Chains A and B, each alone.
Chain A
Amino acid sequence: MVHVGALARHAIRLPDLGQLILRAERPADPASHLLAGEPAPDCIGGVSFGINRDGDDRHIAAGLVKCTSDLLRGQGADVLARRIEEGQYRRRPSNGLQAYRLTVLISQSKVHHWNFLGHEGAGVAGVGRKRGCRARDYGERDTHQREADYYDHDEFCACSDHGGSLTGFSGYPFLTMEGSVQDPNQATTAAGLIADIKLRVAEVAPAEIKDGLPEGGVLIDVREDGEYATGHIPEAHHIPRSYLEMRIENIAPDRDTPLVLYCAGGVRSLYAAKTLVDDLGYTDVKSLTGGITLWKDGGHPVEMPKTLTPVQAERYSRHLLLSEVGLEGQQKLLDAKVLLLGAGGLGSPTALYLAAAGVGTLGIIDGDVVDRSNLQRQVIHTEDRIGTLKVESAAASINALNPDVEVVQYPYRIGPDNIMDILPNYDIVVDGLDNFPTRYLLNDASVRLKIPVVSASILGFEGQISVFSPYEGPCYRCLFPVPPPPELAPSCGANGVLGVLPGTMGLLQATEVMKLILGQGDTLVGRLLLYDALATSFTELKIGRDPECPICSRAPDAISDSEMGVFPDYDAFCDGSH
């Protein structure tokens, strides 16, 4: 630390990335130092720009924002002014002082950030340009002229061949300042650099975030993969330091997102935080003091990540490259349990692609055996498995494709007697059913159990698909309160279906399933998508919850245990008797 008071009347020459941290105290009665009509020192954002001109203290308190932008006119001042208007100039609390951050252009090619720490309403610093480069169009107004005068004064402003110079002032009677200044004649030590960053990047103690971050905040582990694998703070996102700039926007696109970074001991996270603030313009970045080491010492919980085997890392490498999936997403897929109702036209492509993607558990319910007429579209089955159970045939194909996947076989039809035993074991249900009674049964059970259903149906050349997420969007009954009479509900067996159509619709289902698991994108909740293969057209319809829906308008708590597994006679319901 250099006492800036000692620097008064001396210019501080700075390299391009030099910095000065100032602490200033405001006098009890600043007005007494003002001329009539002068703006108060705290006129803009509580920070003022004061100038002691050659012992003549009449000139004070041009607003910092205006002042610096004026000074830099013709040298990127527009950029500066815009950045300030956009809110770059903001207050951040720090150690009981108010901290002010200002972005200042001190060379034509770079924008530098300066932090001013000071009590409310105070803070004085001058930011000057290389002498001789001062803006020539000063003088329109009196204050401008005086600033120009000031910067032309040898005693106060020295020059830097690097294009920037900075001067601190303490001659003004109400100011005391201290701060640290980077000495350009001496290489910065690592310790010095950290000390400087600490003055600018706030730190939080483990105890402050043990109950979670503020609303919307994001915790980021910036350690390397191998370190992360040894345990991390729950809820933390993992971006190794070396990937930070490339990936941060995927997690925090908003520059005002409150971010807390941590590493092993609290140093690398400071560097990382500096990068986010200086290079990417994040406004609220903190570093966890002591890193995860201090976190653990405090007895706070650590979560062990599951890691991929080398074989898995190779198998899912294309997923790992996607920021929307990555290691975390792949783990979610491997942990996911998805139930497929039917290993037929829709179920075949869905099962194969979900298996290939590494969805860890696939339950398949189907009581049928493979028939030769299935093979025109049910691509999970094969000629040599005609006559075997579809669930067995599907399991054989899935295991041949990806041994990571556990297939749970249910070689029977789903019905009111077994649905409540099976569904609770799964996160998501994929509905590829071929009849109405079971679709209504599935809806009623899934709403009660709050399990989302990715539902599709096909006929001829057309398909429908939606996602029914209980209590979030409409349920199947909101969309279709009653089924059509049998003569208006022909099956594929009776009406025919284009062989590739279930492929298209099934893969749309698989895509929705993956999005639900990953928590990415916008799913089809509240939307019904129609696909017309002959016209090659998609039609999207809005579907909403029915406030009078007999199923999902009831509060989940209002359904008694004795009601839970009791369902009406869906065959009679679908018989056309309504």
Chain B
Amino acid sequence: MALVRIPPVLRPSVGGEREVEAAGSNIGEVLASLVADHPATKDQIFGADGTLNRYVNVYLNDEDVRVLDGLDTTVGAGDHLVILPAMAGGS
């Protein structure tokens, strides 16, 4: 199980949790498992074509998965995922 950090804007879709556990051996599977558990997150993470939305960055531990193997990046037990959408609040 990997621990997935949920950004503030997605928390309403996961019952308010800041972190949730999700199963899977790679990034794609972990995110699919997250979406299966919390269907409201689907459109926010994945586009209609099933790829990651471009405005969402996913980090495995501290690395951007786009510079790793993307959705195919292997995830080990105890790894941390960070889902990071842009925020613009400043005032």
Residues of A within 8 A of B (CB): 342, 344-347, 374, 378, 431-436, 439, 456-462, 464, 479-485, 488-493, 495, 497, 502, 528, 530, 532, 534-535, 539-544, 578
Point out the residues of chain B lying under 8 angstroms from A539, CB to CB.
Answer: 5, 62, 82
Contact A480 B86 (CB under 8 A): yes
- Complex-state Cα separation, A432 to B89, whole angstroms: 8
List, sorted by A's number, 6 A–B pairs whose CB atoms are closer than 8 Å. A344-B91, A345-B91, A432-B90, A434-B91, A497-B89, A528-B84
**With A460-B8, A481-B54 as contacts: A489 and B91 at CB distance below 8 Å:** no
- What's the tally of chain B residues with a CB closer than 8 Å to chain A? 25
Contact A345 B55 (CB under 8 A): no
- Complex-state Cα separation, A337 to B49, whole angstroms: 47
Closest to A578 in B: B54
CB distance from B36 to the nearest CB of A (A): 20
CB distance from A341 to the nearest CB of B (A): 8
Point out the residues of chain B lying under 8 angstroms from A535, CB to CB.
Answer: 18
Contact B85 A492 (CB under 8 A): no
Contact B82 A484 (CB under 8 A): no
Contact B87 A457 (CB under 8 A): yes
Contact A488 B44 (CB under 8 A): yes
> Which 4 residue pairs across A and B have the least CB separation, nearest first?
A344-B91, A432-B90, A480-B86, A457-B87
CB distance from A243 to the nearest CB of B (A): 41
Point out the residues of chain B lying under 8 angstroms from A481, CB to CB.
Answer: 54-55
The verdict on B77 contacting chain A, using a C-beta distance below 8 Å, is no
Contact B55 A346 (CB under 8 A): no
The verdict on B63 contacting chain A, using a C-beta distance below 8 Å, is yes
Contact A488 B9 (CB under 8 A): yes
The verdict on B21 contacting chain A, using a C-beta distance below 8 Å, is no
Closest to A344 in B: B91
- Complex-state Cα separation, A481 to B66, whole angstroms: 13
Point out the residues of chain B lying under 8 angstroms from A493, CB to CB.
Answer: 91
**With A489-B9, A542-B62, A578-B54 as contacts: A484 and B86 at CB distance below 8 Å:** yes
Contact B90 A456 (CB under 8 A): yes
Point out the residues of chain B lying under 8 angstroms from A530, CB to CB.
Answer: 82, 84
- Complex-state Cα separation, A348 to B62, whole angstroms: 31
- Complex-state Cα separation, A435 to B91, whole angstroms: 10
Contact B86 A436 (CB under 8 A): yes
The verdict on B48 contacting chain A, using a C-beta distance below 8 Å, is no
Closest to A527 in B: B62
Point out the residues of chain B lying under 8 angstroms from A495, CB to CB.
Answer: 8, 89
- Complex-state Cα separation, A460 to B59, whole angstroms: 22
Contact B90 A434 (CB under 8 A): yes
Closest to B85 in A: A484
Q: Which one of B57, B64, B89 lies within 8 Å of A459 (CB-CB)?
A: B89
Point out the residues of chain B lying under 8 angstroms from A432, CB to CB.
Answer: 90-91
- Complex-state Cα separation, A38 to B84, whole angstroms: 73
- Complex-state Cα separation, A497 to B89, whole angstroms: 9
- Complex-state Cα separation, A559 to B83, whole angstroms: 34
Contact B89 A541 (CB under 8 A): no
Point out the residues of chain A lying under 8 angstroms from B8, CB to CB.
Answer: 459-462, 495
Point out the residues of chain B lying under 8 angstroms from A342, CB to CB.
Answer: 90-91
Q: Which residues between 48 and 91 of chain B lie within 8 Å of chain A, taking CB atoms?
A: 53-57, 59, 62-64, 67, 82, 84-91
- Complex-state Cα separation, A163 to B84, whole angstroms: 70
CB distance from A525 to the nearest CB of B (A): 15
